[in-house]
Amino acid sequence: MPLEYKRPLYTGDIFEGEIEGFFVKAHVFSEPSSYGIAKGRISRLTVYPNKQKVFSLANFERGWDGKPPEDIMIRAVIAVAVEQFDNKAVDWTFEATR
């Protein structure tokens, strides 16, 4: 299921929803940026195991917290979000160099 619009933010918009059984929150801009995931429109993205948002499984805020996720299920969730907003695949080799 695609992420749904929730509200505007000072710049960009907040989208939330469930992808592959995980809860995802994304801050999305109208134009791509070198700071976005895959140099796209998503400048912030957090993957949670559920809607309670007690802890995150992956977090991107103009860069990955630590390093990009290695779990293939989490990568698949992120790939779906990037495809929704940027219509392209994530180059994980590039993401690892951030």
User: What range does the domain containing 42 cover?
Assistant: 4-95
How many Cα atoms sit within 13 Å of 3 on the Cβ side? 27
Residue 1 has pLDDT above 70, yes or no: no
Tokens for 74, please give them: 């989490």
* Reported confidence tier of residue 22, pLDDT bands at 50, 70, 90: very high
How many domains does the chain contain in total?
A: 1
Residue 85 has pLDDT above 80, yes or no: yes
Tokens for 36, please give them: 């976005």
Residue 16 has pLDDT above 90, yes or no: yes
Three-state secondary-structure class, residue 73: helix
3-state secondary structure 6-62: EEECCCCEEEEEEECCEEEEEEECCCCCCCCHHHCCEEEEEEECCCCCCCCCEEEEC
pLDDT in tens, 55-67: 999 999 999 998 9
